[in-house]
Structure 1
């Protein structure tokens, strides 16, 4: 914690530390500790015109409210708020004493602690780290992580003003993309992209937010359980709190939920009505969850004897596993491209293991693409990789062979916890400076087209049943055909025959009417042709 200081009219200086309260009467040459607060954190000191001293106790925990001394700190009277961590104190012009707490909002007393009135409308879960009241009675609350709030009605209600939220764990979008939801220590923050206004929607210590396909908003807190909202966070329904701690959460479908909790990861197949506990162990450094919609495959970073990545295509009925390249990654440290290749970012560990790793489908050998601490990774529809590293956000257009810095604002003091993409905008959620938007230049697409060559990619998934996707690239505008043949070379299906502009494309094969077996697919475009093998396995 930071040191806090206050000086009375006799030039006696009081200092609050995590070990108690100290004072000096000779400009710091000698310090004397108060016997009343040994090993008790003092987070705030307020001295009035009569040299009465008020202190707030606690910091992370072990708070015991507010104390008062009228004799220079020799004797103390407890004014209440027992068990509360009090981070800030202030008087208004009527000598009403206000106390800002760690998680319980703002309290005020007009009778020296005989009765306290609690106010937290608009600041639910906010750490009231700093507190100022002007001569008109307007209250300003400064939070260490969530910006500045204002009240003009004596604390009855607060509105966030000026500075945006700062510490964000992850973000997600409403289905219509009008709202952005952010998980923060002081709750779920909602940003309206039309009005450009942030709102605190309640809860506290939120580790992850996730929106289901139908728009159900889930908020997973560290120790207080999982909550669900059907109205974009305006009200919450409690779902579950059967674990000690949780580190990450994802709504895969409207019914499939993944809870990276301690000690073991859990899966619900009925929207949280019941949970199945797996043998996969979760931790703050092994809790990444990734869902690949095309193959309906869930990837989870966990621990079972060793650090591994587990994946399932049957919503957790069975798992396959891959040995992870390092033991530690972030909750946003997994990504997958359109070829079903897996990417992993290493956050902590030995220096030689920091970085970004790539695993070609069908998942055999990891290749290191980048050296350095990496906090999060994201891949867009054109297979451009974005990653948060120590010196900002980097990107690669050639599968990690070359990297360039595309964002480095406040990079020396903050890093991006999460990256997300919507409509050519890269959203960068940082651990100290809030949420940034970065417009992805449209000329990236144009440049990519200039570098295109004829390319037919391996289908994914492979083996498949009965649907699979085939991606291909053409460098110029012309007729493109993709045909399917059986093992004897007999043409059995044409899945594409149309004019295409230069670019990257993807088609889907429906093999519902075909028997199991080995098949071949062939791309023909101008003088170019290429054939690849695929397996239909029922």
Structure 2
């Protein structure tokens, strides 16, 4: 036993762990299909039964802000942590398809509702460039703009009638002048539009045999969009521009399915939802591979607020949180990550209890969680405010079986919440 243990410890002196997604059950069981994260501490998710949920602690706890069992939310967008909008779609009197535009100025504590006309259209996307100027896209040629915060909506001119009747499924702006929109019909084709005047006029950039559902701004001049065949008869295709839409190139990739959400983790790493998988590129969209979701659950949308914080929404009210790759772990070695220091837990291996020591340079919102080897959270060591200086946190594993565990340390500076740090360490429990 002693020989085995010494060899095991030697092989774990330095290691890296692939990134993981942690599964969290929200208070609802409806499918959650849309997510918007202003930052890692202000996250909204929405979907079936008109649910809108909010979390301020990385998805650990949720409040239900909106519910309507007869409707569904088909998009949600926030300009900042207070001002947001959503589309509520359903059927009134079992006859007319009806849409309501929801808006909030207090982070979703209260939602105002205005009925959108005409009826019998499906709205898919809402986006605001500033507090007054917003956009809605849908089917039946709906592509409209407001310049008075949603009181009035007028049709947006497009450069050609050929694609003017195509559904608009996602609208997003890179800056005040440059915006992109994507859409299309199932089995009839997809299209990418582009605006250079703040969304008042739109040009057709590119078209394809299958529809587009989302896009991502990779950097200040590059956009990536994915076309998908819902029947899985043809492979998906990736479209990319590196000059703000002046030209596009595309390639088919050997994956069959529908990607409904896409976002970037870094300027080179892109993640998309792909039914029961994520589709990933680590070279800005040139090559792709797939990653199976936890328990092969079906995911619908994804959002990264920075390289350390990623979130996804899935079927049955499931929320996924991204856990970055583990930084190399060495026994008794000090880990330095930007503005704080994390020591290896001691003792390690341990029997029943161990300590984690952290040094902070600034007052921080701190979360320390313990996960088992399956990625399931089994214990919260600490969640709260930690003062600057050195602090030590005690972890008792009396009720846990022997095995390999991971402790995650996340520190978000109170005075600057954009400055966040993440660390994952490995510990061994021997009983």
State the TM-score, normalizing by the size of structure 1. Answer: 0.46
**Residue matched to 1:234:** 109
* 2:206 corresponds to 1:323: yes
Greater mean deviation of Cα atoms: 221-230 or 319-328: 319-328
For residue 338 of structure 1, report the CA deviation from its aligned partner: 1.3
Cα distance in 2 between the residues matched to 1:334 and 1:394: 14
* 2:272 corresponds to 1:387: yes
**Residue matched to 1:516:** none
- Superimposed CA distance per residue, residues 256-278 of structure 1 (whole angstroms, 9 cap, x where no aligned partner): 21111342111112211221113
* 2:34 corresponds to 1:170: yes
For residue 419 of structure 1, report the CA deviation from its aligned partner: 0.9
**Residue matched to 2:63:** 199
Corresponding residue to 1:403 among 278, 288, 304 = 288
For residue 306 of structure 1, report the CA deviation from its aligned partner: 6.4
Contact 1:165 1:435 in 2 (8 A): no
Q: Pairwise mapping of residues 117-516 of structure 1 onto structure 2 (< 5 A)?
A: 164-174=28-38, 177-186=40-49, 187-193=51-57, 196-204=60-68, 205-213=72-80, 215-222=82-89, 223-244=98-119, 245-263=122-140, 264-278=142-156, 280-281=164-165, 283=167, 286-293=168-175, 296-302=177-183, 307-330=190-213, 333-338=214-219, 340-349=221-230, 351=232, 353-360=234-241, 361=243, 362-375=246-259, 376-411=261-296, 414-423=297-306, 424-432=308-316, 434-441=318-325
For residue 234 of structure 1, report the CA deviation from its aligned partner: 1.7
Distance verdict in 2 for CA 1:434–1:408, change over 3 Å: same
Contact 1:166 1:430 in 2 (8 A): no
Cα distance in 2 between the residues matched to 1:443 and 1:358: 33
Distance verdict in 2 for CA 1:213–1:391, change over 3 Å: closer
Higher relative CO (Cα under 8 Å, sequence separation at least 6) belongs to 2
Distance verdict in 2 for CA 1:426–1:347, change over 3 Å: same
- Superimposed CA distance per residue, residues 348-404 of structure 1 (whole angstroms, 9 cap, x where no aligned partner): 256464314133333243223453213222123422111222441132212334434
**Residue matched to 2:22:** none
Larger Rg: 1
Distance verdict in 2 for CA 1:183–1:390, change over 3 Å: closer
Any unmatched runs of 5+ in structure 2?
A: 1-24, 90-97, 158-163, 329-431
- Superimposed CA distance per residue, residues 298-339 of structure 1 (whole angstroms, 9 cap, x where no aligned partner): 111246996321111212322221232233233xx2123216
Q: Secondary structure of the equivalent of 2:283?
A: coil
For residue 409 of structure 1, report the CA deviation from its aligned partner: 1.2
What RMSD over aligned residues (CA atoms) do the two structures have, in Å?
3.0
**Residue matched to 1:506:** none
Q: Secondary structure of the equivalent of 2:294?
A: coil
Q: Secondary structure of the equivalent of 1:309?
A: strand
For residue 163 of structure 1, report the CA deviation from its aligned partner: 5.3
Q: Secondary structure of the equivalent of 1:410?
A: helix
Contact 1:171 1:418 in 2 (8 A): yes
Segments of 4+ in structure 1 off by > 6 A?
Answer: none
For residue 297 of structure 1, report the CA deviation from its aligned partner: 1.6
Contact 2:303 2:312 in 1 (8 A): yes
Q: Secondary structure of the equivalent of 2:33?
A: coil
